Structure 1
Amino acid sequence: MTDLPHVAAAGEGPVRPGLDGRIRHLVSIGALVALGDRHAMRTYMRVAMEAGIGTEAVRELLLQAVPYCGWPRALEGFESLGAVLEGMAGVRTGAHAGPEAGGGLSGEAYFRTVYGAKSDEVLSRMKGHHPALADWVLRHAYGEVLARPGLPPRVRECIAVGMLLVLGTQSTFLSHLRGAIAFGTTPDQLREVLSQVTLHIPEERARWAFALLDLLPEATPAAGGGVP
């Protein structure tokens, strides 16, 4: 599912209107980090950086991988990035972080934008699972990672959607589809996100991903979440 011709095609094929090409590159890298295919990851990192994606954008993505994919996947991603940068010595890469830097939201505000009216219910359920879980999610996953400056929420949510689809975690995938829409991504742009990832997942999972997206109503984008 991750042979190199497909990986290269994800970055080099025809660009459909809608989703920012920089986001498309980051979504693909995030999916490969979640998948754990080191060889494909390194190849695509190089493809993306030669196309102008900045090193800091990739580093932010890899930090985001910690709460989504775990430390081992994130560390493997950083090691792969280091190898790519070493091999690209003297090759000009993107000067800035890709899509314009985000930040400005608290972790709880970010969380409540993603979960909306269900926020308190989700927090209560997490506390029921373990007393420390809700605090850890708000403080670390949202406060210290997702609400960081470096990438705007809209971009982070597209990356999250791709990672969660690779992992096959249907409930959190659906939540972050809603989060992406709340931060300004359109359903058509999300279809492009899903299309970037379907190269790397089973066909059955791709079908339910598109089916879940089609069930979501059109949402009014949250102010300030977009990327020019």
Structure 2
Amino acid sequence: MGGWSNKRMEDPARGRRNMRQGVAGAGAAGPLDLATAALVRLAAAVAEGDVPELHNRLVAALGVEVPPLWIDELLLQSMLVVGYPLALVAFGVWREVRGSAATGRHAAEPLTHEDWQAWADRGAAVCRDVYGRAYHKLLVSLRALHPALEDLVLVDAYGKVIGRPGLDLRRRELATVAAIAVLGTAQQLHSHLRGALNTGASVEQVEAVLELVGSRLDPELRRRAWEQWEDVRRRKL
């Protein structure tokens, strides 16, 4: 990583790009517009891995006119959050729901790139947007855990996947909060609750996500999710 790794610590204002489009949202239903609420419910269903529920949530998302491209991007992103096994199950159900319409779709961006540096630059910028003041701490932690983790997180996760243009960063973070709440990984939930705020979500929108998924959580997971949120609010992170 060398000098390039150190460069990632610089320029805190870089990267405020078009990832935040759609913050207001059309056809708002409470704090979340209908499409965002459908994506949040779908993200929770992906984390659960329940095939009938996945089918219902995918059909419901199409019913409120969530663009299929947004669903494609959410499912790609879910590989980073819930892992390949659950993400592949979700892709299989999505193919069943879409049928022949799933073939020949134009992706938001091809997963090939001649310029590795472009992914690295975008990944650092997007990750900085999500983590805000905690970005430098994240890099230090990743380097301490394993020397390969920094590039895997910044280039592969944030550069190649999360930074793709098919779905705005605010909705990506709200969906990530939903999935991680289901998984019950407290430290990651804390980071992405902050990330949702950092990328333009309102306090009310984050709380609406926790309410949407709360009914699907056992009492202990629900308690822990709200504890993490209260800590984020208390620290004003």
Partner of 1:128: 144
Partner of 1:81: 94
**TM-score scaled to structure 2, two decimals?**
0.75
- Bigger Cα displacement from structure 2, 120-129 vs 146-155: 120-129
Over 3 Å off, 4+ runs: 217-220
1:146: how far off?
0.7
> Number of paired residues?
193
Partner of 2:50: 37
Q: Distance in 2 between matches of 1:185 and 1:166?
A: 20
Matched, 1:159 2:172: no
SS at match of 1:216: helix
Q: Distance in 2 between matches of 1:65 and 1:200?
A: 18
Q: Distance in 2 between matches of 1:208 and 1:219?
A: 17
Q: Distance in 2 between matches of 1:143 and 1:88?
A: 28
1:88: how far off?
9.1
Q: State which of 153, 165, 189 in structure 2 corresponds to 1:149.
A: 165
Q: Distance in 2 between matches of 1:212 and 1:187?
A: 13
Q: State which of 32, 47, 65 in structure 2 corresponds to 1:52.
A: 65
Matched, 1:180 2:199: no
Deviations 1:45-91 (A, max 9, x none): 112212211211111100000111111111111100011113999xx
Kept in 2, the 8 Å contact 1:181–1:219? The answer is no
Q: Distance in 1 between matches of 2:235 and 2:187?
A: 19
What amino acid does structure 1 have at the position aligned with 2:178?
G
Q: State which of 192, 197, 204 in structure 1 corresponds to 2:213.
A: 197
Q: Distance in 1 between matches of 2:131 and 2:99?
A: 40
Deviations 1:121-166 (A, max 9, x none): 2212112211111110000110011110011110100011011111
Q: Distance in 1 between matches of 2:218 and 2:53?
A: 17
Q: CA RMSD in A?
A: 2.4
Q: Distance in 1 between matches of 2:206 and 2:182?
A: 15
SS at match of 1:106: helix
Q: Distance in 2 between matches of 1:168 and 1:140?
A: 24
Matched, 1:170 2:186: yes
Q: Distance in 1 between matches of 2:88 and 2:230?
A: 35
Partner of 2:35: 22
Partner of 1:12: none
What amino acid does structure 2 have at the position aligned with 1:195?
E
- Bigger Cα displacement from structure 2, 210-219 vs 181-190: 210-219
Q: Distance in 1 between matches of 2:32 and 2:199?
A: 14
Kept in 1, the 8 Å contact 2:186–2:228? The answer is no
What amino acid does structure 2 have at the position aligned with 1:214?
E
Kept in 1, the 8 Å contact 2:126–2:163? The answer is yes
Kept in 2, the 8 Å contact 1:182–1:219? The answer is no
- Bigger Cα displacement from structure 2, 182-191 vs 114-123: 114-123
Q: Distance in 1 between matches of 2:101 and 2:125?
A: 39
Kept in 1, the 8 Å contact 2:47–2:182? The answer is yes
Q: Distance in 2 between matches of 1:51 and 1:21?
A: 7
Partner of 2:126: 110
